[in-house]
Each structure stands twice: as C-alpha cells, then as structure tokens.
Structure 1
Amino acid sequence: MKVLSVVGARPQFVKLAPIAWQLARRGHEHLIVHTGQHYDHLLSQSFFDELSLPPPDVNLEAGSGGQAEQTSRILAALDPVLARERPDWVLTYGDTNSTLAGTLAAAARELPIAHLEAGLRSFDRTMPEERNRIVADHLAALLLAPTTVAMDNLAAEGLTTRSLLVGDLMVDTLRVISDQWAAPGGERPSPSFTGHRGRYLLATIHRQATTDDPDRLGAVVAALAACPKHVRLLVHPRLAARARQFGIALSGGSLRASDPLPYRSMIAALAGADGLITDSGGLQKEALVLGVPCSTLRAETEWPETLQGGWNVLVTDPGELPTAVARPRPAGEPPTPFGDGEAAVRIIDVLASRAHDAPHAQYTIGCGRAAAAEVRT
C-alpha cells in the first residue's frame, strides 16, 4: 500500500507521528509532503526530530499568507506531486489550509482521500478552520472520526456510510511520550522558563479572530496580565508580528512571554501547569488528557467533550478570564472521550483493507454503522 500524507502545521505533525510509526512497522510505503505552512523551527522541524519522524519526502515551502494565497500556493505545488506518485490513499489531517489544499488537489486528481480527525464542528463558519473541515469531510472517501460526538456530526450531514470511529491520534502520541518518561531511565523534561519558577498558568494565543483585532488582542493581553497566578505565554509567530504591529507589550503584571517550546517540553510544561489558557483546538484536548483545567478564549469549541465536569470553560469576555482561571480544579479524574491510544492501529488496518477496493476515479466507501462498530475504541 502506498500512502501520501499532507501535513504542514504543529498539530498535524503530532497526528502524523503514530501513523508514520505504524506504516513503517508494517512495511507500507509512506510519502510525507510538508506544505511549509509552519516553517519556524520550533513549530516544524523540532517536531520531526523529537517524534523520530523521517524527513519529508517533499517540502512545498508554501510559507505564510492569507488563506486564499497560501492555499493556492499549496495547490499549485502539490498537484504535480500527486500526478507523479498516484498513491492508494491521500491522508489529510485536521482543519488547516494544508488540509483544504490537500483535499482539493487529491479530489481534482480523483485520488481516494482519508480525512483524519473528521467530524469536528464548532458551528461557526466565520472560522477558516470550520470551513476547511467541512470541505475535507464532504470530499473525502473515508472519514476517520476521533469521538462519538464527531460521528454524530457526520451523521447529521448524511455522511454515516463513509464514517468510522477510530479514536484520537493525539492520545496515541501522548501515551508513547508518557510511557517513555515512565520507563526506567526516562525523565520528563523541565520547562526552560526563565525568571519565576513557582506555580504557573500556561497560555497560547494564535487564532486570527484574536490576533488580528487590535482591541480584542489588547483586551486578552490585559486579562492575562491581571491573572492571579503567573502566566507563561508561548508566543506564536503570528502573535509576535501582530503585537509588534499594534504596539502591544506581551509581558507585564502576571504575564511573561516565552518562545514556543519543542513538543516534549511543551507537553511537560502543560502537565506541570496549574491551568491552560488558549484559543487552540488541540491543546484543549491535550489538557483534558493530562488532567489540566483549561480556559478557552472562544465562544465555541470543536471539542465539546472537554467541557464535561468543568475541565474546560469558554471565556467570551477577556475581562472574565482572571475569575475563570481561579476556579477550583474539578474533583476526581477527567473523562476519557478520546479513545485508548490505539487509533493509528485501527486506521492502518482500515486503509490496508480498502486500498484496492475500487479504481481511484470511482472510489467510494460503504461502511454504515455496522462496519463502524468494528473499529470503535
């Protein structure tokens, strides 16, 4: 079986890792196409190094830009790669511009697409990510969903016969990292923060809805600075650029800015934090898995499972953030809606069993709920 993965951003590298490990273990051919959407070392190459991923077979070097500009560059560069390779499966991951471009390019070449992390919905189509994931789900031949909520979303859109519940790939990666830390001789890295070394909240801000509005960004930064505990803000390149543009200082009061962290250090920093403040999707989920309370600076989330028991709360008014982060930690253990850490095993099983079911140009999937039950977590 020949598989081609289209990736380009931090969360996709984390999801790619267990897929790449399983494909290599089973001797399948795997081509990795890096779109270059994230090109900063700490958001790109460090993930390949730390997760023992092979170097990309192709780097499209698309760089940054608006959605239309970036997507069009990826499309133009990816098309000849797909025409040359003609893989049995094109894998797209999540909801980035790389996902959108990979989906459109593969569909134009009539190649079968499997969308990993299918079925997420925030129900806010002003978000580029929401538009991307809807297009990806409706064009893919196989929809690999992480949760029962995602399966329900796909069913509501008439996509049940192409949908399979497999679990969440980020749990696979987290479990491997945790097992390595727990093994004899293993050690969890300490966050490389400077200055204050006591208890802290971890924060990340990167979505356009926050960073590109100077009033919104200023209010969020002021709220972070007013939090009752020290806040470590990991500064995404987009945030750094907008803060410079708007003249907003990213340190002051309780707030201290830090560079982004490599993956293992990032997970260690999250595991050691008293709480997470973010507008990211994936980090909400990682916080729940690690049992870290989360405050999400958005009006909605594509991961409603994280809201169970108060482990995650949505904060629409930045002024309410200091109160939100001061809430007591939920009692007991967090829920476990994202599977058992074996999503990649199920995914490769399904891909291999269906790789040659039909000619590429007429590829369809017929696997209603009965088939889906076979691969449930």
Structure 2
Amino acid sequence: MLIVFGTRPEAIKMAPVIEGLRKYPRLHTRVLVTGQHRELLDQALGTFGIIADVKLSLMNVGATLDAALAAMLAAIGTALERERPARVVVHGDTLTTLATTLAAYLRGIPVAHVEAGLRSGDLSAPWPEEGSRRVAGALADLHFAPTEAAVAALRAENVPAAAIHLTGNTAADALRIVRKRIAAEPTVADAVAPVLARFAGRRIVTVTVHRRESHGKALAEIAEALTQLAGREDVGVVVPLHPNPEVAGPLAARFSGCERIALVPALAYPAFVRLMAASTLVLTNSGGIWRCRGVLLRKKAGGSVRADD
C-alpha cells in the first residue's frame, strides 16, 4: 500500500489514515512524498511522527502547472516502477494527486481516493483543483467520501455504490490527535504564545488566505476588509502568512503599521490549533481548516459560506 501526497494539508489529513493502516500487520504500508511544499510538508510530517519511505524533490520542477505536472508524472511513475505497490492511496485535489492517479492508472495500479466526491460544479473554481479531483474520481476504484453530499456527487457520476465509502473528514481525526498532544505537551504549541499575549483581552480573528483565486485584486479587497475589521478596539486579527510571495508580499505591505493586525510566519499545526482554540472567529478560503469548538466559516462546494460546528 503506497500512500502518496505532497503538501502540508495532505500530510495533516492523511496522518490518521497512515496511523490506521499501520495497525494492520498484514498490510505493508509505505509513504511517498513529492515535496510539493517542502518546508511546510516537513513541518507537518514532524508533527505526526511520519517518516517518508520515499522522498522526491519536486517543489520547483516547473514554472508552469503543465511543466510541474509533467515532471511529477515522470518522477512518480519511476517511483511506482520501483515500489510496485498493490494499491496507491491519494488525497484530495492537488497536483500530486492528479499526477499520481494518472501514473498509477497508466500502470494498471488501482487507486483509492481519500476526500473523494467534493464538487463545485465549476471547473474554474477552485482552479485547478476541481479538474484534479474530477480526474481522480473518474480513475479511482475506491472512493472515501467525507460527507453525504460527496457521496451523492459520486453517485450522480455513476460511481458504483459498492466503491463509495462514507468516512467523515480525516481532518477531524488529525485535530483530535493534535489536541491530545497539546494537552500532554503544551510546549509544542508555544510558537503562538507571543501573539496571544499581544491580543490578550481582545477577540481574536484568525485569517488564512492563500488560494489562487484570492491573488491580485481579490487579495487586495480581502486586505481592505480586514483593515476595516481591525478598526474595532475589541478585535485583534492574526494572519499566518503562506510563504507564496503572491500572498505574503502584498499582505505585508498592506498591513505594515496596523496595530491590531499581526502577521506571523506559517505556524506548525499544533500552534495553529492553539490559535484556533483561542479565536472568536476563523475566516478562511481553505476547506482544510477545522475549529476545535464554536463556529467556523468555510466554503460549501457551490462557493457560498456556511457555519459548521
């Protein structure tokens, strides 16, 4: 069983799956990471004590998405020839997932898709993720869906009922694992302590924004809205910065000198969990953010916003 992923969110969400699979001695479970987000990925692997069996260095393999996909397809294909797994397991909708699914399909290796069935109905949003997950949905033979809506989407695409399994979202399992670790070892989340002290007595609003759809004009509009929000005396806004310069640069320039907006480096997952727990509100354009308690605003498949417990 070869588990393949390349980004930090995938590592977080696949950690409980890896832990579960490794409890079965008859399964030989190995992990291949593509390094799509090298530094952030290593951070997440360390959090969950995952040691990759195969490491590829594919973070900067192409200036364009097609060049990156071509390099990934070739490198992952070579790794599959060497590993010769009975099955490949992929997650979600990243470029790593697309390349791995295609490479496995071309070699007749069955693919299991975790977080299957998410659909927006619009190939341009999220882009290119919507296309990646549709390809994975067409080629995988096992589909692990996080919600009833995802199950319904797969059935509408004529995926056999026997191939669909409603599992819930593994992000919730990862969150539970990390909360227990913080309770046993509070220092693992100390990186966020300074900003919590800075905004003591204020209502903290945590914001993550990194998706391609938010670059450029959209990011400027988000920054303006956050500046208005931070005009409230009772609020402190915390923005963990994604290292992508298309995000970090404009936000750093816009928020320079804003007393009630704190830009912090990308946080390790335990510190981010502690930050969420201390927040009154979490604003995000990522479907991978889960709150410890209270209300979280996140996008539905169709693009609108809902509150989830």
Q: Decide: shared fold, TM above 0.5.
A: yes
Contact kept, 8 Å, 1:5 with 1:32, in 2: the verdict is yes
Contact 1:13 1:48 in 2 (8 A): yes
Per mean C-alpha deviation after superposition, the further-off stretch among 44-53 and 187-196 is 187-196
Q: Which residue of 2 aligns with 1:366?
A: none
Task: Tell me the equivalent position of 1:293.
Answer: 295
* 1:304-343 alignment, distance < 5 Å: 307=306, 311=307, 334=309
Cα distance in 1 for residues equivalent to 2:92 and 2:282: 21
TM-score by length of 2: 0.87
Aligned to 1:204: 208
Instruction: Name the CA distance, whole Å, in 2 between partners of 1:279 and 1:305.
Output: 11
Q: Give the match for residue 13 of structure 1.
A: 11
The one-letter code of the counterpart of 2:265 is D
Alignment of 1:116-155 (within 5 A): 116-126=114-124, 127-155=127-155
Q: Cα distance, 1:294 vs. partner?
A: 3.2
Greater Cα offset, 66-75 or 100-109: 66-75
Which residue of 91, 96, 109 maps to 2:89? 91
Match of 2:222 in 1: 220
Q: Which amino acid aligns with 1:203?
A: V
Q: Where does structure 1 lack aligned partners over 5 or more consecutive residues?
A: 313-333, 335-377
Structure 1's 243 and 282: CA in aligned 2 closer, same or farther, altered over 3 A?
Answer: closer
Task: Tell me the equivalent position of 1:187.
Answer: 186
Q: Aligned to 1:61, what secondary structure does the other structure show?
A: coil
| Cross-structure match for 1:325 | none
CA contact (8 A) 1:273 1:292 kept: no
Give the SS at the match of 2:38: coil
Query: Identity of counterpart residues, as a percentage?
Result: 30
Aligned pair in 2 of structure 1 residues 276, 66: CA closer, same or farther (>3 Å)? farther
Superposition RMSD in Å: 2.3
8 Å Cα contact 1:143/1:164 also seen in 2? yes
Residue 187 (structure 1) shift? 3.4
The code of the aligned residue for 2:169 comes to D
Higher RCO (CA 8 Å, separation ≥ 6 residues) = 1
1:61 and 2:57 equivalent?
Answer: yes
Structure-2 change in CA distance of 1:44 and 1:61 (3 Å) = same
Deviations 1:276-297 (A, max 9, x none): 11111111xx12xx2343345x
CA apart distance, 1:169: 1.3
Which AA in structure 2 matches 1:237?
P
Partner residue in 2 for 1:257? 263
1:136 to partner: Cα distance: 0.6
Which residue does the alignment assign to 1:175? 176
Matched with 1:51 is 48
| CA apart distance, 1:246 | 9.4
The structure-2 alpha-carbon separation of the partners of 1:193 and 1:98, relative to structure 1 and needing over 3 Å to count, comes to farther
TM-score by length of 1: 0.72
Distance change >3 Å, CA 137–CA 252, structure 1 → 2: farther
- 1:203 and 1:259 map into 2 onto residues whose CA distance is 13
Match of 1:271 in 2: 277
Number of residues of Structure 1 aligned to a counterpart in Structure 2: 293
Alpha-carbon displacement from aligned partner over 1:33-72 (angstroms, at most 9, x marks no partner): 11111012xx111111111112x22222111443222221
Per the alignment, do residues 226 and 252 of structure 1 end up closer, same or farther by CA in structure 2, a change over 3 Å counting? farther
Counterpart residue type for residue 285 of structure 2: D
Give the residue type in structure 1 aligned to 2:214: T
Does the 8 Å contact 2:13/2:171 carry over to 1?
yes
What letter corresponds to residue 91 of structure 1 in structure 2?
A: V
Q: Secondary structure at the match of 2:112?
A: strand
Choose 168-177 or 248-257, whichever is displaced more.
Answer: 248-257
Amino acid at match of 1:163: I
CA positional deviation for 1:122: 1.9
Deviations 1:269-315 (A, max 9, x none): 111111111111111xx12xx2343345xxx53398982xxx26xxx
Q: 1-side partners of 2:171 and 2:270: how far apart? A: 13
3-state DSSP of counterpart to 1:29: coil
